Amino acid sequence: MSETVQVEMRGTIAFVTINNPPVNATSTAVRADLLAAVERVQGCELAVLRCAGRSFVAGGDMSEFDAPPVEPHLPDVVNAIDNSATPFLAILHGTVLGGGFEIAMACAYRIALPGTRFGLPEVNLGLVPGAGGTQRAPRLLGWKMAVEMACLGQLKTAEDLLELGAVDAISEMPDDLIESFRGRAFQRVSERRLDTGLDRDAFMDQVQKFSKGRKGPMHNLDALSWASEDYTHAQPRERALHLELRQSQESKALRHLFFAERAATKPNVLSDVQPKQINHVVVVGGGLMGAGIAAACLNTDRSVTIVERDKPSATKAQETVAGLMQGALKRGKITQSQLDTRLSALITTDSYAAASGADLAIEAVFEDLGAKRAVFTALSNVMTKDALLATNTSYIDPNEIFDGVPNPDRCLGIHFFSPAHIMKLVEVIRADGTTNESLATAFSFAKSLRKTPVLSGVCDGFIGNRILAAYRRAAEYLLADGALPHEVDNAMRTFGMAMGPFEAQDQSGLQIAYANRRRQDATRDPAERYVAISDRLCELERFGRRSGAGWYNYPDGKTPAVDPSVTDLILQYSDQPGLSRRAFSATEIQTQLLAAMANEGARIVEEGIAANEADVDVVKTAGYGFPRWRGGPMHWAKTQGGEAMRATLKTMEKASPGSWIRADRYQDKFKQVRS
């Protein structure tokens, strides 16, 4: 027997321990050893199955998913446990996920340690479970919880399962209970009969809403519905679907992102760097972003000081943060006592003196270089020389912001996304002087806020907003050449974006991008095509939804409605020499806008601003509503292939000569050879 599974005989009870750090994934070795262990325990009265380390089996070994499956397959192992003449007692702790939960459900009895959590997260990878998970879950948990776990990917607690009789006991001292299971009657879960079939209609709305264009949730609903059939007949069907889905674009995209997110949040350059502890955070500017950042910090039980420009603004900031906390209380995310504790850890003031003891300052004042520089001068006068200084700027070069600040090694960008207490993405921006220790501290801080930090170098808009600018530019070119905003938005929503580019602009407001374009006027390449439709809207004070109108009208205050006057404005704009309008299909719109994003992303990687393509995909999926199940723009471009990308970029260059700089990797082949 190899080291991944140990069997120890104590009288007539066998103790089987899986030991495959870090999370006891069901690798080929574990499956083979476990199968051998099942044979070995035959003849015993009871086999106790548990895992060493921090968790029971928390899933399969995803690195094996791209290769053909190797024997023994997990369903064979799980069925061997199910059919074993010696009943298995599972002792569960940590997170019992995927294959781990499938193994646990095949055991005759289950004891959970307090705090154990259970899940079938295959849906999050575009898969269905492949070892009887969808067949045993309804038999053990009933349809409702089975749907919540398999289709919606929800985690459940030991208490949830105890209530349904799906675990036999919750205990801190499971060993004390083992004896009581000796000889206890049981019925195999696979042999249980369900009283009713799956009422698909009852769950359809919920599953569809969760799906957002993905197929995984519905596949899981299908597989669950087979649980009304005989197990031996339905389980191979589930397995076949699991194997088929491993090859699907959706699953490949989601698996790509799973690895991309893990890698992005642990950059190689920071692997040996020790982060510093951040206890007290000062946020300068308590507006939309500052209040959200403050709330995110308070949620991790840190002390937070907001410095505002005057007393009324400080009071307003206090109210905004309190409002965010009240919202969390209403949604049941926090208790009244948590709210009270967190708000008591907040100070709002108009005096920098209160910032003196803080470990980290995050500046979120108006997007104005002078204002930001004044903030850091004031901060460096009161804070210690090694306190971290961060700007939340969207576009301004942090090197200019920090120019003249003592100890530039501790200066960097920590760029949150709106709403900052909710959005996962944080870009950590390395300025010229920033040390790895400062970056590592920002990463560790962002992760403690349950965010997804991604490292970015300095360029206009960093990774995310720079790609956004290319995407919006391509979208405006389409308007000038024949498309209308709602056609573009519909096409991108059909692709899976949370919102189309124009409704998204209306949502966040057109002002910041407008101001940024004015900043770029002096340096913009005169050969680059500039479509000024968005500028015209801003000149008409149509700044988006909050100002009452933007690309759309908002008759009820929130739902966009096509405005004929905007259509007229676009038609008039196109009525100029050299422009002629034509129809664009949804596919053409999608291909061009995605190619614009991927091309800009590739340039960002080639310039060394992003470490790799996967980081770009994490930025777009975690912060910009790019559908996760499409893997991100770089993954999408790979699925298209270089040839198709070059063809699309050529079409776009022909329509807007001199306006697109093609990334090296999308240059024509002969040029690549020559360069």
Q: 285 phi and psi, to 5 degrees?
A: 95, 110
- CB-closest chain residue to ligand NAI: 287
Q: Does 371 bind ligand NAI (CB under 6 A)?
A: yes
Q: Does 397 bind ligand NAI (CB under 6 A)?
A: no
- By C-beta, is 420 or 488 nearer to ligand NAI? 420
Distance in Å, CB of 379 to ligand NAI, minimum = 10
Q: Does 127 bind ligand NAI (CB under 6 A)?
A: no
Task: Point out which span in 107-115, 283-291, 340-348, 494-502 binds ligand NAI (CB under 6 A).
Answer: 283-291
Q: Which of 157, 248, 448, 508 binds ligand NAI (CB under 6 A)?
A: 508
Distance in Å, CB of 512 to ligand NAI, minimum = 6
Q: In 98-236, at which residue ranges do the beta strands (DSSP E only) sit? A: 109-112, 117-119, 156-157, 169-170
Closest by CA to 98, choosing from 129, 70, 72, is 129
| Cα–Cα distance for residue pair 398/382, rounded to 1 Å | 20
Task: Point out which span in 411-419, 451-459, 499-507, 667-675 binds ligand NAI (CB under 6 A).
Answer: 411-419
* Binding to ligand NAI in span 210-229, by CB under 6 A: none
Q: Does 493 bind ligand NAI (CB under 6 A)?
A: no
Distance of CA 269 to the CA centre of its chain: 22
Count the neighbouring beta carbons within 10 Å of the beta carbon of residue 215: 16
| Helix/strand/coil for 362 | strand
Q: Does 285 bind ligand NAI (CB under 6 A)?
A: yes
Q: Which of 222, 367, 535, 653 binds ligand NAI (CB under 6 A)?
A: 367
Q: Which of 135, 220, 393, 441 binds ligand NAI (CB under 6 A)?
A: 393
Q: Which of 20, 79, 394, 534 binds ligand NAI (CB under 6 A)?
A: 394
CA angle (658, 660, 666) in 5-degree steps: 125
Distance in Å, CB of 378 to ligand NAI, minimum = 8
Distance in Å, CB of 551 to ligand NAI, minimum = 17
Distance in Å, CB of 312 to ligand NAI, minimum = 9
Q: Does 289 bind ligand NAI (CB under 6 A)?
A: yes
Q: Does 464 bind ligand NAI (CB under 6 A)?
A: no
| Helix/strand/coil for 558 | coil
Tokens read off for 354: 């209160």
- By C-beta, is 159 or 319 nearer to ligand NAI? 319
Q: Does 418 bind ligand NAI (CB under 6 A)?
A: yes
| Cα–Cα distance for residue pair 558/580, rounded to 1 Å | 33
- By C-beta, is 288 or 322 nearer to ligand NAI? 288
Distance of CA 44 to the CA centre of its chain: 46
Q: Does 512 bind ligand NAI (CB under 6 A)?
A: yes
Distance in Å, CB of 207 to ligand NAI, minimum = 32
Tokens read off for 99: 């294959």
Distance in Å, CB of 167 to ligand NAI, minimum = 45
| Helix/strand/coil for 51 | strand
Distance in Å, CB of 515 to ligand NAI, minimum = 9
Q: Does 619 bind ligand NAI (CB under 6 A)?
A: no
Distance in Å, CB of 526 to ligand NAI, minimum = 27
Q: Does 284 bind ligand NAI (CB under 6 A)?
A: yes
Task: Identify the burial level of 108 via C-beta atoms within 10 angstroms of its C-beta, where 0-12 means exposed, 13-18 middle and 19 or more buried.
Answer: buried
| Cα–Cα distance for residue pair 532/538, rounded to 1 Å | 10
Residue linked to tokens 């397959």 = 73
List all residues 6 or more positions away from 287 whose beta carbon is below 8 Å from its beta carbon. 317, 320, 364, 365
Q: Does 366 bind ligand NAI (CB under 6 A)?
A: yes
Q: Which of 77, 282, 321, 365 binds ligand NAI (CB under 6 A)?
A: 365
Q: Which of 36, 169, 288, 533 binds ligand NAI (CB under 6 A)?
A: 288
* Binding to ligand NAI in span 305-364, by CB under 6 A: 307-309, 313, 364
What DSSP line would sit under 451-516, residue for residue? -EEEEE--STTHHHHHHHHHHHHHHHHHHHHT--HHHHHHHHHHHT-SS-HHHHHHHH-SHHHHHH
| Helix/strand/coil for 60 | strand
Q: Does 190 bind ligand NAI (CB under 6 A)?
A: no
Q: Is 609:463 a contact under the CB 8 Å cutoff?
A: yes
Count the neighbouring beta carbons within 10 Å of the beta carbon of residue 83: 11
- By C-beta, is 261 or 308 nearer to ligand NAI? 308
- By C-beta, is 90 or 295 nearer to ligand NAI? 295
Helix 511-520 vs helix 462-481: angle between axes, to the nearest 10 degrees?
90
- By C-beta, is 311 or 669 nearer to ligand NAI? 311
Task: Point out which span in 63-71, 410-418, 617-625, 663-671 binds ligand NAI (CB under 6 A).
Answer: 410-418
Q: Does 392 bind ligand NAI (CB under 6 A)?
A: yes
Distance in Å, CB of 598 to ligand NAI, minimum = 23
Please count the residues of this chain forming the interface with ligand NAI, following the rule CB under 6 A.
25
List all residues 6 or more positions away from 510 whose beta carbon is below 8 Å from its beta carbon. 534, 537, 538, 542, 543, 544, 550
Distance in Å, CB of 478 to ligand NAI, minimum = 24
- By C-beta, is 221 or 284 nearer to ligand NAI? 284
| Cα–Cα distance for residue pair 675/669, rounded to 1 Å | 10
Distance in Å, CB of 294 to ligand NAI, minimum = 11
Q: Does 519 bind ligand NAI (CB under 6 A)?
A: no
Side-chain half-sphere exposure of 111, counting CA atoms within 13 A: 19
Q: How is the chain split among helix, strand and coil, in percent rounded to 5?
A: 50, 10, 35
Q: 535 phi and psi, to 5 degrees?
A: -60, -40
Binding interface with ligand NAI (CB under 6 A): 284-290, 307-309, 313, 364-367, 371, 375, 392-394, 416-418, 508, 512
